[in-house]
Structure 1
């Protein structure tokens, strides 16, 4: 294989570009937005994500521009510490078990590596037609250009154009829950990943992202059409976190600018197995978009890139590689989507009989720490 097209300039696409370029493959990457950038605030990178970043060779860059933690703390609603447990490192005993950083920072690291290693990036460009050939694909773009590729990779997110062009129609599933992510000053005592027990159907937590910064996440139920007005955001966040004590109460007045706040509603996608048609394959959110309840979305995207590269390097044919990639990825990613969705349901329905967040999350982290 000599030339690949990657559609989408997110975590999945950029990581895959790095992997393929290192195998001597010529990589074109197109992004439909005017810029390759990440919107939003912070991101929580759990152990599997750090392991994948290490395999990609960017772990040190990320740790140097983020905030590593070694403990997870759970608090009662009033701010009393309920539990603390260590987060084992997947990389080395002296390294963090979890990393918080700003999404744009992670994006910049991946983009810089991808372009420095030869990936050609074009923005404002998207495919409008993909014609499958026996051992290639011809692509027509929205600017009228055409390209001939040995492999096309759809890494273009939950509303993937590639998936729409070649795979069966798939509508993202709303979960009836939204999240406010708020960038805040980090109090000196917040040195761990922090989560509070829910106050009714509202969940709050913190991830440190820098020596002087952290982001707060606040999860709450929403109606399908809920779209908060920007000028309301500060009051909405303050109202949601009002029942909580401890650090939450201490930082409540620091929520004072709408530019600190990023709102998202939760939707999921799980494309049926297999994730390839001919010489076109899906990965990342285009194939399996989850919610952040396990903080595993980025981890699954990064693992996709690593696995696809490994299988392309090892298999006798591209077809064999794509089959092996799907075999290794489908059940693991399906588990993440379904488990995170279950946790979301329990949070929005706090009286659900038998709900056991701690057990399910503990089992999930143990499973995700295993080989992929």
Structure 2
């Protein structure tokens, strides 16, 4: 079969880049991936993975590894600060998949799974490398690299994240990520007998728990912060997160708060987001994932949208045609779904940080989760 593009360069070895590399290699493309971090690390604690995101993970071919290392549960329970159940959101079977429910996994564990699959696929990976120049000449994209190499490609994919260097180079006037006024705290704690994802809605924040293995779950708290503080000292982490959880009198939250400590792997990150208007490609350079639709974690779909991008691009490759037609079809299939996720996630954040109506919050959660069940 003649592919729309045979020789493909992927810049950025995160979830989106690795997923695209695996799926395009499966179709017979010659795929090269460069990643600026020589150690190919992924920072972070746990990650909540929705059922629709698991559908994409299944299409990529790593669902068995996810089940072995992570956790899959059913349903989301939403409570008020005292622990009274507000709503129980069902997580039904996901169409076009074997998935029932949602899941969670440690972010570095998922990165290792994808990294091993990338290597096993025979993809040409260069670590500690990025590009220094991108130039389209005719039907080729010429790229110079920081290690002195030069390559010519049929297609270049920019998957280097929310602060994308590829985006800055190819789309210098594109919008930049904006701080949302919230930060997220994450910690890893014993799972106990928790059997599903849970959220507790507070006056100006939300604390949630997602199982990430048979024995662990991860805690997350979205905090309203008017300034974009990026770092906290080690000795500040436990006292600050503990103070944030103090308004929650639900017995489950009180118990977890009392047991926070140095082993809880607490981290903090300011939340930023952006949605780049179409086009997402210029000539034979396409942006994917957080480069064009970076979202906050309120709908547990940030990484999942990147996985889906890879699945859709692979499907459009299979459908064939000129490469520019493939890229146009790809962005048009992805636009509305990604716009909905970014917009609704931002609105959920606004409700949380301003103490807005809890009814609207639960309604947006339910509507969004239902919409995500639709075909990719």
TM-score, with normalisation over the residues of structure 1?
0.95
Q: Relative to structure 1, is the Cα distance of residues 351 and 313 closer, same or farther in structure 2, using a 3 angstrom cutoff? A: closer
Q: Relative to structure 1, is the Cα distance of residues 157 and 350 closer, same or farther in structure 2, using a 3 angstrom cutoff? A: same
What is the rounded CA distance, in whole Å, between the counterparts of 1:255 and 1:121 in structure 2? 39
Deviates more, 1:81-90 or 1:171-180: 81-90
Counterpart position of 1:164 = 168
What is the rounded CA distance, in whole Å, between the counterparts of 1:141 and 1:159 in structure 2? 19
What is the rounded CA distance, in whole Å, between the counterparts of 1:73 and 1:308 in structure 2? 34
Counterpart position of 1:39 = 43
Superposition map of 1:262-301 within 5 A = 262-301=267-306
Matched, 1:98 2:102: yes
Counterpart position of 2:228 = 225
Q: Contact (CA 8 Å) 2:87, 2:362: kept in 1 or not?
A: no
Q: Relative to structure 1, is the Cα distance of residues 94 and 30 closer, same or farther in structure 2, using a 3 angstrom cutoff? A: closer
Q: Contact (CA 8 Å) 2:191, 2:215: kept in 1 or not?
A: yes
Counterpart position of 2:256 = 251
Match 2:198 to one of 180, 194, 201: 194
Q: Which runs of no fewer than 5 residues in structure 2 stay unpaired?
A: none
Q: Contact (CA 8 Å) 1:231, 1:258: kept in 2 or not?
A: no
Aligned-partner SS, 2:212:
strand
What is the rounded CA distance, in whole Å, between the counterparts of 2:46 and 2:221 in structure 1? 13
Superposition map of 1:1-372 within 5 A = 1-90=5-94, 95-169=99-173, 170-188=175-193, 190-198=194-202, 200-227=203-230, 228-244=232-248, 245-257=250-262, 260-351=265-356, 356-372=360-376
Aligned-partner SS, 1:287:
helix
TM-score, with normalisation over the residues of structure 2?
0.94
What is the rounded CA distance, in whole Å, between the counterparts of 2:214 and 2:185 in structure 1? 22
Deviation at 1:313, TM superposition (A): 1.8
What is the rounded CA distance, in whole Å, between the counterparts of 1:206 and 1:62 in structure 2? 18
Aligned-partner SS, 1:356:
helix
Deviation at 1:162, TM superposition (A): 0.7
The alignment's C-alpha RMSD in Å is 1.7
Q: Which runs of no fewer than 5 residues in structure 1 stay unpaired?
A: none
What is the rounded CA distance, in whole Å, between the counterparts of 1:93 and 1:23 in structure 2? 21
